[in-house]
Structure 1
């Protein structure tokens, strides 16, 4: 949403703007709430990363948590500047993150171990190059949704084969946060003209960020539990201060 306030970053060059008045609170931050709402996402990913490193989970989970952090930082840059290059710093990590999820979900049953990571790496690199040169809005959304849908069958398989009640609750929290985040995202996109006339903007896209931060954390924690079960590490879902769930494992002692 444009206004006449002068800005540090210059004219808007990104393809997409959201339902928040530009530079309403600072000449350095284009969309204030859409920018700061990424901070909880970074903190949750940091908590997940610390847990993965402390318990020596496989490196794929450390990379996944770092990917969540990179995505959130890219989103902050995008919403703070509304520049085309910063929009790419948000959208390209979105695709990279989904490629990581595909690898984590499907690699345990993939017999040719080197082919999948090699293909996904080359695919991610090729996408980054093409995306840096070509501006596509609808095409990007369709491509991203397809990558997300590829994860659904495997997530469902993991869910139905998990008997642990707290672990199943993680999967349910993942679905719940995804549902409400999507509602806020659609509301912000479809009813922006009406919202702009309200006295108070509910900041639907900022709420999307916060909920998706929890969504990623729940998804990662659930996948860590499932992988620990596959490795025979006796995982349990515990809670930090009785609130935030995390996975505690007990690796068998080497003889």
Structure 2
């Protein structure tokens, strides 16, 4: 049973890598700002770190899972707030130093529940800005991306919670296994939908005439930059 848990919790990160690669290719091909390429790469790194952690269950590999989670949220904070930040060099410098300091401290200290609280706080910092983007977006296809982001987050959180509540009870091992693996899959889609929505909003800010199109049923953002650019 333990080997099955490790296997499913490992391979369930593959969708996150595939979606991250798809988003990265789209961002590069259409000439989005580098911040979005870095964001997609961070999703890929996070999924790889989770694979390393769940395939080994060692503390060092756990850091390769948890540290990229914090870095990813710092990237989201930057992308969400950078358009209105008056001191353009201050914000990324602070976030970079914060991320570097966390990585160093986390390599020496195992935070446990403290890490989870810290991560939730970073997530909560993103919510007001995401909501502002949502209410100012008129395109229904873009709004659907935001709803998919919220839906996968909600369902994924329920799966994670079921894992946390049942993993100590051997009679619920199978349910626990499925819950954590589903959390990984849904978070891969969750990150992708969030990235696509933010790319749409940024393209609107830059007047790149964005629209949501689909490839094999998967939505992505297509832009048309003015010819003068």
TM range (shorter): over 0.9
Aligned counterparts of 2:168 and 2:202: Cα–Cα separation in 1: 46
Instruction: Tell me which residue corresponds to 1:252.
Output: 226
Instruction: Tell me which residue corresponds to 1:16.
Output: none
Of residues 114, 134, 138, the one that matches 1:163 is 138
Instruction: Tell me which residue corresponds to 2:68.
Output: 93
Aligned counterparts of 1:138 and 1:123: Cα–Cα separation in 2: 20
Aligned counterparts of 2:168 and 2:122: Cα–Cα separation in 1: 31
**Alignment deviations for residues 167-191 of structure 1 (CA, whole Å, 9 cap, x no partner):** 0000000110001000010011102
Change (3 A) 1:23 1:155: same
Question: Which blocks of at least 5 consecutive residues in structure 2 are unaligned?
Answer: none
1:203, distance to aligned residue in structure 2 (A) = 1.2
**Alignment deviations for residues 58-117 of structure 1 (CA, whole Å, 9 cap, x no partner):** 000000000000000000000000000000000000000000000000000001100000
Q: Does 1:23 align with 2:3?
A: yes
Aligned counterparts of 2:90 and 2:195: Cα–Cα separation in 1: 23
Q: Does 1:45 align with 2:34?
A: no
**Alignment deviations for residues 154-213 of structure 1 (CA, whole Å, 9 cap, x no partner):** 00000000000000000000110001000010011102244x325954510000000000
User: Between Structure 1 and Structure 2, whose CA radius of gyration is higher?
Assistant: 1
- The alignment partner of 1:147 has SS state of helix
Q: Does 1:222 align with 2:202?
A: no
Instruction: Tell me which residue corresponds to 1:117.
Output: 92
Of residues 197, 201, 217, the one that matches 2:171 is 197
1:23, distance to aligned residue in structure 2 (A) = 2.7
Aligned counterparts of 1:139 and 1:101: Cα–Cα separation in 2: 21
Question: Which blocks of at least 5 consecutive residues in structure 1 are unaligned?
Answer: 1-20, 25-29
Instruction: Tell me which residue corresponds to 1:103.
Output: 78
Q: Does 1:144 align with 2:119?
A: yes
Aligned counterparts of 1:62 and 1:198: Cα–Cα separation in 2: 40
Aligned counterparts of 1:182 and 1:73: Cα–Cα separation in 2: 20
Aligned counterparts of 1:162 and 1:47: Cα–Cα separation in 2: 24
1:136, distance to aligned residue in structure 2 (A) = 1.1
Q: Which runs of 4+ in 1 moved over 3 A?
A: 198-202
Equivalent residues of 2:80, 2:129 under 8 A apart: yes
Aligned counterparts of 2:126 and 2:21: Cα–Cα separation in 1: 23
Equivalent residues of 2:210, 2:223 under 8 A apart: yes
Aligned counterparts of 1:198 and 1:100: Cα–Cα separation in 2: 36
Change (3 A) 1:187 1:54: same
Where in structure 2 are the equivalents of 1:233-248 lying within 5 Å?
233-241=208-216, 243-248=217-222
- The alignment partner of 2:224 has SS state of coil
Change (3 A) 1:253 1:157: same
